[in-house]
């Protein structure tokens, strides 16, 4: 088989249909980028879930001097005795794996770390403003019911926050976001398939004289189809590369930028990004090859 | 070489069969004129030989092979042994004479060295030496048809099919075309030519097969075109 001949035909084809080829490239780039972002959101959400599910605790905030909570208004700041009793009580519960005490200094340190970028907030808060708290880690995060009920309203307790609840609402929102992103991506992929099929058909129509003669003269089916399939593949590859660049940009601008706004965000690794890029490029090329092949089969009666 | 046995072909949406129980034998090296009014089945006959269409009844053998047994995969190989010339020349407008003829060899994967040797020979055979670099729109009708014949013949096919090759050409030039066809026939290629051109048929006195409404009404060696037309 003469590779030179096929490549020269491919080049001719690409040039003749330049606008359609560009349309294919753009569609593949956008479609694959959307698919990639959907997948990256998916990875990000999963990794965040995995990271935080381990770490969620029940925070038992204790009454401080000027605590605004209902429970503290009448009773004032928590006493040493109350603290000791609470600790015993918590340790005694079967669901509890361990309990840690966080004093004001430690709370302030944690606060400073989390909001390191926000200097105005940091300057407004002082050590005395931080509440003391017990950080309770459960053996099974699902079994929070009893613990919360017992502790909410106990002496010296300002508020019981189940971090799992907070996290769940947030993850619920993220899950919706992820599904929407994937649906949009799939629609784009579908549109890409249709457009590529159309372009290949147009290309075949423009070359019907050549193809007709090729069939008459006894060129094998492969020879006739190869230039068109290759045209589609090359356009798909170029689109894939563009989408890869867009995905890398997205990682740097969007996903890493999340760190500044979202305390809960975890870092997505470059190897994950690489996997997503590989996957989308393969999908892009496969779509192109399939669309070309199927369109030609039906159109050329080859 | 070509053997039609009780062949019937009906196109969809048509009442009358294009070919109606046609049986014909063409031997190797023969020159056969296929004559008859429009719609009599001449083009259908040629397309069946190429396996562009399948018969509804009967069997067709080309070079000893039964076409109904031929898989789709093998059809290109059959077509490489058959050359085709048409009334509208069917040249590629963006390629010159040499490239048009070479195209037929390139698409079946012949190496460039072979092409460079064989194409000039065949261009000379059809009488176009010196014009190998002209584009089709720089050629007259007769010259374009010669290019088409060069392309049909360059792969030394067993059979050459011609569907009204002189249809677009004036009588004087047609004689030149027929000389080329005759030359090709003398090299041993079987030639089957469908035509309206009474003068050509009468002057060459080859075998004449006449079709009317899909049936063979006359099969005469050294025949003439016909009485009424």
Domain boundaries, given as residue ranges, for chain A: 3-52+168-300, 55-163
Nearest-Cα distance to chain A for B80, in Å, is 5
- Confidence at A302, pLDDT banded by 50, 70, 90: very low
Contacts of A224 in chain B (CB under 8 A): 107
Name the percent of chain A lying above pLDDT 90: 1
Fold of A55-163: Alpha-Beta Plaits (3.30.70)
- Confidence at A2, pLDDT banded by 50, 70, 90: low
Separation CA B221–CA B201 (nearest Å): 12
Q: Taking CB atoms and an 8 Å limit, are B92 and A209 in contact across chains?
A: yes
Min mean pLDDT across A54-58, A146-150, B23-27, B172-176 is at A54-58
* Chain B nearest-CA residue for A218: B76
DSSP for A58-108? EEEEEP-TT--SHHHHTT-SPPHHHHHHHHHHHHH-TTEEEEEEE-HHHHH
Contacts of A2 in chain B (CB under 8 A): 106, 109, 111-112
Domains, chain B, ranges and CATH?
Answer: 1-9+17-81+157-229 (3.40.50.300), 92-156 (no CATH)
Position B229 scores a pLDDT of 46
Position A300 scores a pLDDT of 63
Nearest-Cα distance to chain B for A238, in Å, is 27
Q: Is B54's Cβ below 8 Å from some Cβ in A?
A: no
The more confident residue out of A297 and B167 is: B167
Residue pairs between chains A and B whose CB atoms are closer than 8 Å:
52
Nearest-Cα distance to chain B for A234, in Å, is 21
Q: Is the pLDDT of residue B95 over 80?
A: yes
The more confident residue out of A168 and B121 is: B121
- The β-bridge relationship of strands B31-35 and B207-212 is parallel
Angle at B38 between CA B49 and CA B66, to 5 degrees: 15
Mean pLDDT, chain B, integer = 88
pLDDT per residue as tens digits for the range A82-91:
778 888 887 8
Q: Is B78's Cβ below 8 Å from some Cβ in A?
A: yes
- The β-bridge relationship of strands B215-220 and B65-66 is unpaired
- Nearest CB to A2: which of B73, B90, B109? B109
Please give the average per-residue pLDDT across B206-210, as a whole number: 90
Q: Taking CB atoms and an 8 Å limit, are A213 and B77 in contact across chains?
A: no
Position B228 scores a pLDDT of 47
Position A242 scores a pLDDT of 92
Q: Is the pLDDT of residue A186 over 50?
A: yes
pTM comes to 0.68
B97 phi, psi to nearest 5 deg: -55, -50
pLDDT per residue as tens digits for the range B177-200:
899 999 999 999 999 999 988 888
Q: Taking CB atoms and an 8 Å limit, are A218 and B84 in contact across chains?
A: no
Q: Taking CB atoms and an 8 Å limit, are B79 and A210 in contact across chains?
A: no
* Chain B nearest-CA residue for A301: B52
Q: Is the pLDDT of residue B75 over 90?
A: no
Q: Is the pLDDT of residue B92 over 60?
A: yes
Position A260 scores a pLDDT of 64
DSSP for residue A138: E
């Amino acid at each position: 088989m003469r590779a030179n001949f096929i490549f020269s035909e491919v080049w001719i084809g690409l040039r003749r249909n330049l606008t359609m080829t560009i349309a294919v490239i753009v569609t593949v780039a956008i479609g694959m980028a959307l698919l990639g972002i959907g997948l990256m959101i998916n990875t990000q959400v999963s990794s965040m879930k995995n990271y935080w599910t381990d770490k969620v605790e029940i925070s038992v905030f204790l009454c401080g001097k000027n605590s605004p909570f209902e429970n503290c208004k009448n009773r004032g700041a928590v006493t040493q005795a109350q603290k000791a009793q609470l600790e015993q009580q918590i340790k005694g519960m079967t669901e509890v794996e361990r309990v840690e005490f966080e004093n004001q200094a430690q709370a302030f340190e944690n606060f400073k770390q989390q909001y390191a970028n926000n200097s105005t907030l940091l300057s407004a808060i002082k050590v005395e403003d931080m509440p003391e708290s017990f950080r309770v880690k459960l053996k099974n995060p699902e079994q929070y019911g009893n613990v919360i009920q017992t502790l909410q309203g106990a002496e010296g307790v300002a508020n019981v926050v189940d971090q799992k609840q907070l996290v769940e609402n947030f993850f619920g929102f993220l899950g919706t976001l992820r599904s929407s992103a994937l649906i949009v991506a799939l629609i784009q992929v579908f549109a890409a398939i249709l457009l590529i099929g159309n372009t290949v058909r147009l290309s075949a129509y423009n070359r019907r004289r050549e193809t007709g003669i090729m069939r008459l003269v006894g060129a094998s089916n492969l020879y006739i189809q190869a230039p068109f399939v290759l045209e589609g593949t090359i356009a798909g590859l170029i689109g894939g590369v563009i989408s890869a660049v867009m995905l890398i940009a997205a990682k740097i601008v969007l996903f890493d930028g999340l760190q500044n706004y979202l305390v809960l965000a975890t870092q997505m690794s470059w190897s994950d990004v690489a996997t997503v890029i590989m996957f989308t490029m393969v999908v892009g090329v496969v779509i192109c090859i399939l669309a070309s092949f199927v369109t030609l089969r039906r159109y050329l009666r080859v | 070489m070509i053997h039609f046995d009780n062949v019937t072909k009906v196109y969809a949406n048509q009442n009358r069969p294009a070919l109606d129980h046609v049986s014909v034998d063409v031997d190797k090296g023969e020159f056969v004129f296929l004559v008859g009014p429009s719609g009599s089945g001449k083009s259908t006959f040629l397309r069946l030989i190429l396996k562009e269409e399948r018969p509804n009844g009967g069997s067709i053998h080309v070079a000893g092979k039964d076409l109904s047994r031929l898989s789709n995969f093998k059809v290109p190989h059959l077509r490489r042994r058959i050359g085709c010339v048409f009334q509208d020349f069917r040249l590629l407008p963006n390629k010159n004479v040499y490239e048009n003829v070479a195209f037929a060899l390139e698409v079946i994967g012949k190496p460039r060295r072979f092409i460079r040797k064989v194409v000039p020979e065949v261009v000379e055979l059809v009488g176009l030496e010196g014009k190998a670099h002209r584009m089709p729109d720089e050629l007259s009708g007769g010259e374009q048809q010669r290019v088409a014949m060069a392309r049909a013949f360059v792969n030394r096919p067993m059979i050459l099919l011609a569907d009204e090759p002189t249809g677009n050409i004036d009588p004087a030039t047609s004689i030149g075309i027929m000389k080329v066809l005759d030359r090709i026939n003398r090299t041993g290629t079987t030639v089957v030519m469908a035509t309206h051109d009474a003068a050509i048929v009468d002057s060459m006195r080859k075998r004449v097969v006449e079709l009317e409404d899909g049936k063979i009404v006359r099969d005469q060696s050294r025949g003439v075109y016909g009485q009424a037309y």
